[in-house]
Structure 1
Amino acid sequence: MSPRHPYRRTFIALLAAIVLGGLAATPAAAEPGGDTGDEGSSANPTLNSVLESTSRKWSEANDLLNASVKHQGELAAQLQATEARLAVIQDQVAAIAAAAYRTGPLTTFAALMDAKTPDSFAERAGSINEIAHHNNNLLHQAKQLRDDQAAQKKALDGEIATQQEQKRIIEQQKKDAEKALAQAGGPSRGFVTANLPLANPVPRNANGSLPKESCSVKDPTTSGCLTPRTLHAMQEAQKDGFKRFVSCYRPSGPYEHPKGRACDFSVQTKPGFGGVATGDDYTYGTTLATYFVKNADRLGVMYVIWFKQVWTPTVGWHHYSGVAGDPSSDHTNHVHLSIL
C-alpha cells in the first residue's frame, strides 16, 4: 500500500462494513423476479384486525354452541330415563293409594290385635314394618324423581337459551366479517380437493373450547417462537406430506407472525418463495390450503389465505388481495395460515 495514502486501508474496511451491513439488513429474493414472502406493509391492518376478531369470537361461540348441544342431548337422555322411572314409581304409589281407599287405613294396633298366637303377632309386626318401609321408600323415590325431573327441565331450558345467544353471536360475527371482506371482494368459489388426510386434533378444554396459549415454544423455521398449537399445525401438515419451505415467526409485520400464531408455506420446491405459482406449484398450494380448511376445527385454524382468496370459519372463501399487488401480498406464491 502506498505511503501516500495512509487512510486508504481504513476507508476500504469501512466501505466493506457498510456494504456487508446493507446486504445483511436487506432480505434476499428467493429467486430472480420473486420476493421473500413477507407481506409487510401491503396488508390491510383493519381487515387483518377484523379477521382475527371475528374468527376468534365466532370460534369461541361455535365451541360453546357445540358443547351446549352435546350437553342438551345428555340432559334429554337423563330426563327420559327419569320420567320412565317416575312412571313406574307413580303406578306403584297409585296402587297403594287405591288399596287404602278400598279397605281403609290398616292401623298397627288393629293388625296386631288380630294375631292368634305370639308367633303370628311377631310376623304381623315384621310385615307391618316392612310394608311401611317399602311405601315410605316409594314415596321418597317419587319425590326425588320429581325434583330431578324439574331440575333437568330447567337445565334444558338453560341450554336452549345458551344456544340462542351463541347463534346470535355467530350471526353477528358473520355479518362483521362479510362487511370487512367487502372491501377486498365478495364471496368466491374457493378451492376443493378431495381425499385429504385428517390431522391429529389439538387439545381442548372440557367444554370444547381452545385453551389460551402464548408464544412459548421454539420455532424450528426461525430463531423466534410459536404457540404450541401453531407448531402442531405445521408439524401435522409436514407429517401429511407438505414438506416444502416454510417460515413462521417474524418480529414485526402484519397478521399473527409476531405473535407466533402464523406460518407462510412456500409452494415452490426450492427454499424461498419466488413468483406467481403455476402448474405443480399451484396444485400444491391449492391442496395445502384445502388441507387446512378441512382440518380447521382439528387444528384451531383462524384463517387461510391463498392465491388472492381468504378462508375463514365465519364466512368461508372470499376474494382477497394485498395493497402492493406482488406475489407475496397477493399470496400467489405461498399459503398463509393463522391459528387461533
Structure 2
Amino acid sequence: MRRGSAGLTRVVGVLAVAASVLAIAAAPASAAPDPEGGTKTLRAALESAAKGHIEATRKLAASQKRQKELQATLLQTQAETKKMESRIAAVAGRSYRLGRVNTMTLLLNAGSPDAFLERVQRLDMMAQLDGRAMTRYRDAIAAYTKAKTANELEIREQQKQVTILAKKKKEAELALASVGGGSVAGGFVGVNSPLAKPAPRGSDGSWPKERCTVDDPTTSGCITPRLLNAYQQARAAGFKHYTSCFSERASGEHPQGRACDFAAAQGGFENKNAAGSDKVYGNNLAAYFVKNADRLGVLYVIWFRQIWMPGTGWRAYSGSGGPSATHTNHVHLSII
C-alpha cells in the first residue's frame, strides 16, 4: 500500500512538471525589446510631438492661404463700397429735396398729358436705379463685414497654431533632454539631394491614416503605403544598401509598419561605427530624408547620435549601447 502510494505521488509530480512545461511553451511570446535603444515613453513622446507639429504646420499654412484670399476680397469690397458712396449720397440728397409730396407736385404741375407721362416714366426709372444702387451698396457692406470677420478669425487661428507649434517643440526638447540629449546639433544637410515623389495627401493637405497593409519588400512583414513610397523613392535616388523595415518590437513605429532601418554598410548592420564611404552614405541618406520630409511624411530621422524632427531640426540623441542603439551603423526613418 505504501509503495502504491509513493508511486502515485511520483506520477502526479511528473504530470505537474509536464503541465508546467506545456503551459510555458503555449504562452505567447512577448515582443522583443527595441534593439535601437530608447524607451516606449520616449518614442511615444517623440511621435506625439512630431505629429502635432506637422498637423499644426498644415493648419497654419491653410489659414494663411485663406487669409490671403480674404485680403483680396476685403480690398475689392472696400473699393466697391467707396465707388458707390457718391451715388448713394446723390440718392439721399434727392430724396431729401423732393420727398413724396414734392414729387406729386411735380407730376401734377405737368403742362400736358404727354409731359405728365414722361415725368412718371423718368421718376419710375430713377426709383429703379436708386433701388438697385441701394441694394448693391448694402451687399457690398455685408460682403466687407463678412470678409473682415472671417479675416479676424483666421488671425486667431494662426495665433492658436503658432502656440501649438511652440508647445510641440518644447515637448520634443523635454523628451530628448530626459535621456541626456536635445542640444542643438550640426546635423546632416544636402542641398543637392534629389527630390522625392510626394506621397498622396488628403484634399485638405492632411496625411490620411494608414495601416500596415502592403507587403514589406525587406522582410516577411507588412508596412504602410506611405512607408513603401519612402523606401522606393530612396532606392530610386541611389540608396540601395541593405534595409529592414517591419519587425516585432515592444514599441516604436517598426511593429506598425511605419519605420525602416537603412544600413550604412552595403551588406547589412555591422557591429561597429560607420566610417569612410559608409559614413558618407549615411550622411547623404539622412540629408535626403530631411530635404524630402514634407513630401514623404517624415516624423523623424536618427543617424549617428543625432535626431531630426520637423519642429526642432537636428538635435543630439543620446542612445546608450552599441552601434545599433547609438544609430552609428544605420539610418532610422519613421513615417507619419
Relative to the length of structure 1, the TM-score reads: 0.82
Letter in 1 for 2:331: V
Task: Please say if 1:132 is aligned against 2:127.
Answer: yes
Contact 1:64 1:207 in 2 (8 A): no
Worse overlay, 125-134 or 158-167: 125-134
1:248 and 2:245 matched: yes
- 2:98 is aligned, of 71, 89, 104, to 104
> Are residues 1:168 and 2:167 paired?
no
Over 6 Å off, 4+ runs: none
Amino acid aligned to 1:57: G
Query: Structure 1: which 5+ runs fail to align?
Result: 1-37
Q: 1:205 to 1:122 in 2, by over 3 A?
A: farther
Inter-CA distance 269–130: structure 2 relative to 1 (3 Å threshold):
same
String of CA shifts for 1:159-200, please: whole Å, max 9, x gaps.
111111111111111111111111232221111222112222
Instruction: Decide which of 66, 74, 78 is 1:79's aligned counterpart.
Output: 74
Offset of residue 39 of structure 1 = 5.0
1:222-233 aligned at under 5 Å gives the runs 222-233=219-230
Q: How does 1:86-235 map to 2 (within 5 A)?
A: 86-101=81-96, 103-105=97-99, 109-116=104-111, 118-182=113-177, 183-185=179-181, 186-235=183-232
Between 1 and 2, higher relative CO (CA 8 Å, sep ≥ 6) is seen in 1
Q: CA deviation at 1:121?
A: 4.3
Work out which of the residue numbers 33, 36, 60 in structure 2 matches 1:65: 60
Could you tell me which residue of structure 2 aligns to residue 320 of structure 1?
Answer: 317
Counterpart contact for 2:319–2:326, Cα < 8 Å: yes
**Contact in 1 for aligned 2:302/2:327 (Cα 8 Å):** yes
Displacement after TM superposition at 1:81 (Å): 1.0
**Deviation of 1:43 (Å):** 2.8
Separation in 1, partners of 2:130, 2:222: 68
Superposed displacement of residue 86, structure 1: 1.1
What is the CA–CA distance in structure 2 between the aligned matches of 1:146 and 1:260, rounded to whole Å?
54
CA contact (8 A) 1:249 1:263 kept: yes
1:214-255 Cα deviation digits (max 9, x unpaired): 222222222222222111211222222222222111132442
Q: For 1:65, give the aligned amino acid.
A: L
Distance between the aligned counterparts of 1:245 and 1:119, measured in 2?
A: 99
Partner of residue 18, structure 1: none
* Residue type of the alignment partner of 2:329: N
Q: Distance in 2 between matches of 1:220 and 1:284?
A: 21
Q: Is the 8 A contact 2:261 2:331 kept in 1?
A: yes
**Displacement, 1:285?**
0.9
SS in 2 for 1:105: helix
Tell me, yes or no, if the aligned pair for 1:213 and 1:227 is still in contact at 8 Å.
yes
Could you tell me how far 1:289 is from its partner in structure 2?
Answer: 0.5
Check conservation: 1:68, 1:159, Cα contact below 8 A: yes
CA 229–118 in structure 1, closer or farther in 2 if over 3 Å, else same: farther
For 1:86 and 1:313, the matched residues in 2 are separated by: 45
Question: C-alpha distance in 2, partners of 1:111/1:82?
Answer: 38
2:291 counterpart of 1:297: no
Q: 1:119 to 1:223 in 2, by over 3 A?
A: farther
More helix by share: 2
Find the aligned partners of 2:324 and 2:117 in 1 and give their Cα distance. Answer: 96
Q: CA RMSD in A?
A: 2.1
Match of 1:335 in 2: 331
1:92 and 1:70 map into 2 onto residues whose CA distance is: 34
**SS of aligned partner of 2:79:** helix
Deviation at 1:104, TM superposition (A): 2.5
Please tell me the residue identity of whatever aligns with 1:170.
L
Overall identity of the aligned pairs, in %: 45
Q: Counterpart in 1 of 2:10? A: none
Post-superposition offset of 1:110: 3.9
8 Å CA contact 1:41, 1:253 repeated in 2: no
**CA–CA distance in 2 between the matches of 1:263 and 1:204?**
21
Give the CA deviation at 1:304.
Answer: 0.2
Amino acid at match of 2:99: P
AA aligned to 1:245 is Y
SS in structure 1 at match of 2:314: strand
Match of 2:38 in 1: 43
Point out where structure 2 has 5 or more consecutive residues left out of the alignment: 1-32
1:11-67: CA deviation from partner (whole Å, max 9, x where unpaired): xxxxxxxxxxxxxxxxxxxxxxxxxxx952733222211111111111111211111
